[in-house]
Amino acid sequence: MTQAQLREKAKDDWGPLSALPGNPLMWVLIGSELAVFGGALIGYAGARARDPAGFAADQDQLSRLAGLINTAVLLTSGLFAALANVAAHEGRRAAARFWLGLAGALGVVFLVVKAREYGVELAAGHDLDSSPFFTLYFLVTGFHALHVVLGLVILLLVAHFDSPDNIETGTAFWHMVDLVWILVFPSFYLLR
């Protein structure tokens, strides 16, 4: 058997995960990460239920515009990642790398906006010890930002090792980062 056939056979041995795009092990990681973020957001909801007025007052200190900009940036980046996946499957390697590069560039924009937002919050005296809201805000959004950094590393790797399977795997992680932000943004910035 060739190495490609062995990889395909190994992929077939993952049961229901084998039907998902990319490497099944990435889906195990994605599932575990979604569980962690889900737990964090449930914890946030519980803490907010104990002090709705305090959380609402602290929430009003956040820049909803920065959160909205970052939402648009990540969703657009997710679109570019999807276009990279399509290009890879069509055998258009240069186009796939181009779209991955744009997706990654927007990931960097997300981090710059988030860093500026953190700077504003810290300058206003809000930090991990300010209140339960800001403790959870910095922990959850900071953990998400670390996932953006990891996602950027993954996008860089799959742009270099640009097989369609690798690009599917990398973009699956990137879409998880998008999905988590879609849950984090309204939880911290919008919901009352």
Residue-wise DSSP of 106-154: HHHHHHHHHHHHHHHHHHTT--TTT-HHHHHHHHHHHHHHHHHHHHHHH
* CATH number of the domain enclosing 78: 1.20.120.80
The stretch 117-142 carries a mean pLDDT of 96
Instruction: Tell me what pLDDT residue 43 has.
Output: 96
In a domain, 8, yes or no: no
Segment 51-69, tens digit of pLDDT: 999 999 999 999 999 999 9
The number of folded domains in the chain is 1
In a domain, 50, yes or no: no
pLDDT band at 7 (very low <50, low <70, confident <90, very high): low
Find, among 51, 72, 70, the residue nearest to 118 by Cα. 70
Segment 8-53, tens digit of pLDDT: 655 556 666 666 677 777 888 888 999 999 999 999 999 999 999 9
- Which structural domain range is residue 163 located in? 63-192
